Structure formats: C-alpha cells, structure tokens
Amino acid sequence: MASNSSSSTAQQRLRIIAGHLQKRPEDENASVAAQECKAEAPRSEPSSATPVPRRRQEIMKWNGWGYSDSRFLFTKKGQAEFTGKRYRLSGLILPSLKDWFEGTFGANLQHRSPATPSLNLSAVAPPNLNQPFVEDLKAAGLVVSHDPEDRVFRAHGHCLHEVFALREGRIGRVPDMVVWPSCHSDVEKIVELACKHNVCLIPYGGGTSVSSALECPREETRSIVSLDTSQMVSVYMHACRQYLRIRRLNEHGYCTGHEPDSMEFSSLGGWVATRASGMKKNIYGNIEDLVVHIKMVTPRGVIEKSCLGPRMSTGPDIHHFILGSEGTLGVVTEVTLKIRPLPEYQKYGSVVFPNFQQGVACLREVARQRCAPASIRLMDNEQFQFGHALKPQVSSMFTSFLDGLKKFYITKFKGFDPQHLCVATLLFEGDRGKVLQHEKQVYDIAAKFGGLAAGEDNGQRGYMLTFVIAYLRDLGMDYYVIGESFETSVPWDRVLDLCRNVKERIVRECKERGVQVTQTYDAGACVYFYFAFNYRGLNDPVHVYEQVEHAAREEILANGGSLSHHHGVGKLRKEWMKESVSGVGLGMLKSVKEYVDPQNIFGNRNLL
C-alpha cells in the first residue's frame, strides 16, 4: 500500500477508500499522525468529529456564521475573546483587537447593535405545500420537515444582506419544506416526484454560499422544496460531509487536499456545483482537477461517465456542464475524487516585504518558476495590521521582548515603513527534505525582492485569519460595523493596477479595508478584497454596501478581473454573466438548461 500511494500522482478513488482503510497497515508511518495534528490544529477538535445533524440549528447559529459555541466577544474589561474549543484561537484573549477595531472603524464598544436573539416563528410565512407531492414523498419513506426553523435555515447563504436581515429578524421567502435524501436513489425518487407534481427544488449542501444562490426566487409561485444533501453519508463516502470524510481520510493517512476557507461547513456537492477552489490548490488542484467522476440526477435522468479513465477525448467534457452549474441542472449525488497520501511534513512561513508592489513581483516570480508552495498569500498593509490585531496575549516577557526586537529590526534596521510593509504567508507540504529545500528556494526568490523571512508564527496566524474572519464579521455587526469579502482573478500584469483602482473606487464610494492576493497561477492571481465600514447613522447600510460592491465589481471587470474566481455567480452577479462569457456562451448554457430541465424544476434561478 505504501508503494501504491507513493506512486506519486496515481489517482486514488474515494470509491475504494473503504478497501484502503482495511488494508492499511497500522504501523505504516507514525510521523504522519503527528504532522497531521499540526496541519489540522486550527480546525475543530478531532475527537468531536460528528456530521452536521438534520437540525443544523442545534449546533450552528441561525443568524450568523458557524458553530453556536464559537464566537468573538468583548469582555466587560473590553478585551476581545474567542469562545468555544473548536479552533486554535478558541479560549484566547486578543488584547489588541479592540484598539484596532475602534481605531479603524471608529466603532465604540458603548454603541451596540445586537441581533434579534431568537427566531420569531410568526414572521415565517406558512408553507405553501403541494399535498400530493408531500404524500408521495412520505409514501416513499423520505424524511421531510416543514418546521419553520428548518426552513429558515435553508433560505439563505452568508451574503451580508442575508445575514443582516436575519439579525434584524426579517424573514423573506423561505422554502416550503425540507427533504433529506440519504442516497442516490432517494434523490432520483425526489426529482421524479418533483417533475410529476411540478414543484421547485433547491439543492442545499453546507449553506455557505456568498452569491445569493440559496435565496428563494421571489417570482417563484410553486412550492419550493429545499433538498438537503447533508445526510447522504454513504458507505462509498460520496457527497458526504467532507468534514467527516477528511477526518477519516486523515486518520488513515490520506487527504483530498481541497481546503476552502469554509471547509468545516461546505459540502462536496457544493464544491462541485460552484467550481470551488481550496487554499492548497498549488499542489492538489482546484475541484475540477480533483474530480474523476460525477453522478448527477437531473429531471432528464442521471448523467455520468461510463468509466474512471483519468482523461477522455469524447467531445466537450460533460463534467464541465455540472461543475459550476450552481444547482440549476440537478443534484450531484456521487463524486469520485483523487486522494493523496497525507504530506509527511508541513511548515508555515512568512515573508515581510517593504511594500505591496515588491510582494506582488515576488509572487509573480515564484509562479513563473513554478515553485509555489502549497499555499502562498500576500496581504497588503491594511490586512497585515488587521492580522496583527488578532495576535493572542503573549504568555511571557521574553516573547514580547522578542517581538519588540523583531519589529525594531524590520522597521528601524531594515528601514521598512510600517505603513507600507506587507506580508506573504506560506505553507509548505511534502517530505521533509523537499520542504526544506523548497522553503529555501522560495526565501531566496523573496530576498531578491527585498523580502525578509518573518517566521512561522506570522504565517500560521495568517491562515487562521481566513477561518475566523467570518466569525469576526458577526462581532463587527454587534457594533455597527458591516463587511464582506469579494474576490476575483486577474492576470499578473494587472494585479497592482486592479488592486489600486478597486480600492480607490471603494474609497470614493466610502471607507475601505484590506486586499489580499490569495492564489497564484502562472498566468495570474486570485485577489481577495475585504471591505467593512461603520454604519452607525446610516439609514440603509446594506443598500450602501451593495452599491459599493456593485461599483467595485464594475471596476474589477473594467480592469481585467474575472467575475468570480471561486465564489460563483448565484443571483448576486448574474447581471454580468453575458458580459463575462459572451452572448453565445450564455446561450449555450441556456440551451443546456432548456434540454436538461425544461420545467425549471431546479428553479433557484442562479447563473443564467
């Protein structure tokens, strides 16, 4: 088995993982487990690895991000703290967050804007049920619910306007019922009945969409059924909660390598349906590179390939009709993914650059030499300061002394301007020797662009940020600060201009924070913008935000950026689809939809 897995990029199929798990010798590689702990440390605690229950609200917030037990708050003493036990940051005090928060946004801890504490059930419209459909479902033995809480939970993703409305207790159109299939044939049955009774199906995976993809279309008059795939944990591990799957994979020395920022919540089906990307794509690839086989149930029937060949020349790849179809064509029920042995060794790192331009130039060079680490991200100065604000309380005088010394060295001795320096965070994976060699290569390139190695801690904190940033937004919203992130991808030569112009455009519309280059490609980069502002005194802050984001997106497109790198289009970015893929391109997609789903059963109205 060891030789099998070490045959480098040999594609492994999830379908036969069960076999692997059994065959795998217990004593294979002790160091794997140790390394794995380190990599997974920022995530949830390993022991309580349970799948998300049907009643998600039992462990997750109904009007905010993530687990109910994990949240940022300011203590009575005004210190920030992250609660719970699930994350590396959990239970820690963050002494500088308050100053950064108040300084940057002009927020004040006295001015609170708390959320509605609990869901007002009377605000939820009674379900518009299609009785014959419900009866047929029940007859088929499927689990359904029209409980208002279940329905509200599945009526939204995590766009700012969606969460903001929930916090204010405003409930719009919600699905009329929820159904939980547990296997492929359940889905076939549901789709068949939906066609028969003409009801609208909206597939639901992890609910982490940020493109308004889960919102119920206002113009829909049929009964809307949310098809929740979270319970489809099959023995083949298809479309299972990846959290569980990765845990199991990791326990046995494997990984998929796909780690989007929302990974503890999002679902495999969702990754496929949105063309997701993970932070380690440099090694493992994006979802389209990982997928070997997909099975999807559509109103027209089941679509799949006949074999698991690694590549086929059989006309356009039918997978690409499915990848990124955003739930408009059907439900992904089974996916076969490539897996890889767990990396033997992992190491974080970081590099400080005197300014953003130098940082971008370095990343470009790293990409050109094709020696990008598993992950490499460049944060601009604003985001660097934000990351700094999340530094936990230092335990010893010595550490704090060391920090001071480092700061002195960089700013005074090396002459970096603290208002301009920026930081690249790095994550290396592989066997120990190669990682060290790789690390040296990257640091050597960085040195040519004036970069200074700045330690593992900074790197690790950088990555932690991406997992907790959604929690931080909830904290902001408690104090009149709203924010959102949006992303794009852009050729290298336009990265700087795009960042500058978009920031300036946002500044022109209002106040702004933060940019980050997160993914690098040899032809370009993925750019992330974080943007937040204090809305105290504003009448309709969400509307203001939306206007700014709209302007920013126009600016991105005008500067050669894409409509989306991995968030998808949903309903939020639909208006630019034609411009992005040309009229003919859009027509092709429409004709596929027309063929596959003439009744518009999958009527979430995303994308097209």
Partner 1 sequence: LAPRHPMLKKRDSFEDILEERRHSSDLRYALRCYTPTLYKGLVPCKASMLKSIVLQSDHLQYVIKQVSSESGDSTECVAEEASLILDEMAHRLQLSTVRFFVFTLSKAFKRLFRSVCVNEEGIQRLQQAVQEHPVVLLPSHRSYMDFLMMSYLLYMYDLPLPVIAAGMDFMSMKFVGEMLRMSGAFFIRRSFGGDKLYWAVFSEYVKTMLRNGYAPIEFFLEGTRSRTCKSLTPKTGLLNIVMEPFFKGELFDVNLVPVSISYERILEESLYARELLGIPKPKESTSGLLKARRVLSEDYGSMYVYFGHPVSVRSLTEGKITRSQYNLLPRCIPQKPSADTHEFLNDTAFRLVRIQEGNMVLKPWVLIATLLLQNPDGMDLSSLAEQTDWLRHLALAFGAFLDWPDHAACSEVISCSLALHRHLLSVSAGHVQLSVTDAPQVETTPEEAVFHQAVVVLSCASYRNQILHVFLRPALLAVAMQSANSNRKDDVYNCFNFLRNMFSSEFILCPGDSVQDFEEACYLLMKRGVLQVLEHEIVMSASGHSTLAFLSSVLDPFLQGYQVVSRYLCEETNENLTEKEFIPAVRNFALKLILAGRLKCYEALSSDLQKNALAAFLRLKAVMKVKVGDQVTLKVNKIAVNSLEDTLGKSDVISHQNSWWSRLVL
Q: How far apart are CA 207 and CA 477, in angstroms?
A: 20
User: In angstroms, what is the minimal distance from the CB of 505 to partner 1?
Assistant: 7
Any known ligand binding at 41? no
Q: How far apart are CA 355 and CA 225, in angstroms?
A: 51
Any known ligand binding at 269? no
Asked whether position 501 contacts partner 1 by CB under 8 A, the answer is yes
Asked whether position 579 contacts partner 1 by CB under 8 A, the answer is yes
Any known ligand binding at 78? no
Going by the DSSP 8-state scheme, the letter that residue 575 receives in this structure is G
Q: Which helix (H) or strand (E) holds 398?
A: helix 397-408
Asked whether position 172 contacts partner 1 by CB under 8 A, the answer is no
User: In angstroms, what is the minimal distance from the CB of 557 to partner 1?
Assistant: 6
In terms of C-beta density within 10 A (0-12 exposed, 13-18 middle, 19 or more buried), how is residue 588 classed? Answer: middle
Q: How far apart are CA 334 and CA 184, in angstroms?
A: 7
User: In angstroms, what is the minimal distance from the CB of 406 to partner 1?
Assistant: 30
Residue with tokens 């998929």: 256
User: In angstroms, what is the minimal distance from the CB of 472 to partner 1?
Assistant: 29
Among residues 498, 506, 572, 596, the one that binds partner 1 under rule CB under 8 A = 498
Q: Is 443 a catalytic residue?
A: no
- Looking at the DSSP assignment, which residues form a beta bridge with residue 340? 255
Any known ligand binding at 205? yes
* Residue whose CB is less far from partner 1, 15 or 500: 500
242 contacts 208 by C-beta, under 8 angstroms: no
Q: Which stretch binds partner 1 (CB under 8 A): 78-86, 244-252, 313-321, 488-496?
A: 488-496
Q: How far apart are CA 253 and CA 534, in angstroms?
A: 46
Any known ligand binding at 206? yes
The pattern of x and - marking residues 546 through 575 that bind partner 1 according to CB under 8 A reads -----------xxxx---------------
Among residues 58, 493, 522, 575, the one that binds partner 1 under rule CB under 8 A = 493
Positive or negative, the CA dihedral 232, 236, 239, 243 is positive
* Residue whose CB is less far from partner 1, 348 or 576: 576
221 contacts 603 by C-beta, under 8 angstroms: no
* Residue whose CB is less far from partner 1, 183 or 490: 490
Any known ligand binding at 330? yes
* Residue whose CB is less far from partner 1, 443 or 521: 521
299 contacts 195 by C-beta, under 8 angstroms: yes
Positive or negative, the CA dihedral 53, 58, 63, 65 is negative
* Residue whose CB is less far from partner 1, 1 or 507: 507
Asked whether position 500 contacts partner 1 by CB under 8 A, the answer is yes
Asked whether position 523 contacts partner 1 by CB under 8 A, the answer is no
Any known ligand binding at 243? no
Catalytic pick among 284, 528, 530, 545: 528
Write out the two tokens for 72.
Answer: 């940022």
**Count of H-run helices and E-run strands, the chain:** 21, 19
Q: How far apart are CA 66 and CA 46, in angstroms?
A: 17
* Residue whose CB is less far from partner 1, 273 or 498: 498
For 18-83, the DSSP string reads: HHHHHHS-TTS-HHHHHHHHHHHTTS--GGG--PPPSSGGGTB-SSSSSBTT--EEE-TTS-EEE-
Residue 55's nearest CA partner among 187, 126, 143 is: 143
Any known ligand binding at 167? no
User: In angstroms, what is the minimal distance from the CB of 555 to partner 1?
Assistant: 9
Q: How far apart are CA 459 and CA 348, in angstroms?
A: 5
Give residues with Cβ within 8 angstroms of 469, minimum separation 6. Answer: 261, 485, 530
* Residue whose CB is less far from partner 1, 15 or 494: 494
* Residue whose CB is less far from partner 1, 69 or 497: 497
Question: Going edge to edge, which strands form the sheet with 72-74?
Answer: 72-74, 80-82, 93-94
Q: Which stretch binds partner 1 (CB under 8 A): 21-29, 152-160, 228-236, 490-498?
A: 490-498
The amino acid that residue 303 corresponds to is: I
User: In angstroms, what is the minimal distance from the CB of 411 to partner 1?
Assistant: 21
User: In angstroms, what is the minimal distance from the CB of 491 to partner 1?
Assistant: 8
**Strand 345-353 versus strand 340-341 pairing type:** unpaired
* Residue whose CB is less far from partner 1, 89 or 422: 422
CA dihedral 243, 158, 565, 87 (to 10 degrees): -40
User: In angstroms, what is the minimal distance from the CB of 139 to partner 1?
Assistant: 53
- Looking at the DSSP assignment, which residues form a beta bridge with residue 228? 204
383 contacts 516 by C-beta, under 8 angstroms: yes
Q: In the range 191-220, which residues lie near partner 1 by CB under 8 A? A: none
User: In angstroms, what is the minimal distance from the CB of 563 to partner 1?
Assistant: 11
Any known ligand binding at 461? no
Chain centre to alpha carbon of residue 435: 26
Among residues 173, 406, 494, 550, the one that binds partner 1 under rule CB under 8 A = 494
Any known ligand binding at 199? no
Among residues 417, 497, 522, 540, the one that binds partner 1 under rule CB under 8 A = 497
Among residues 20, 338, 505, 553, the one that binds partner 1 under rule CB under 8 A = 505
SS3 533: strand
Q: Which stretch binds partner 1 (CB under 8 A): 11-19, 27-35, 248-256, 495-503?
A: 495-503
- Residues belonging to the binding site are 203-209, 274-277, 326-332, 473
Residues involved in catalysis? 528
- Residues belonging to the binding site for substrate are 473
- Residues belonging to the binding site for FAD are 203-209, 274-277, 326-332
Residues that bind partner 1 (CB under 8 A): 491, 493-494, 497-498, 500-501, 504-505, 557-560, 579
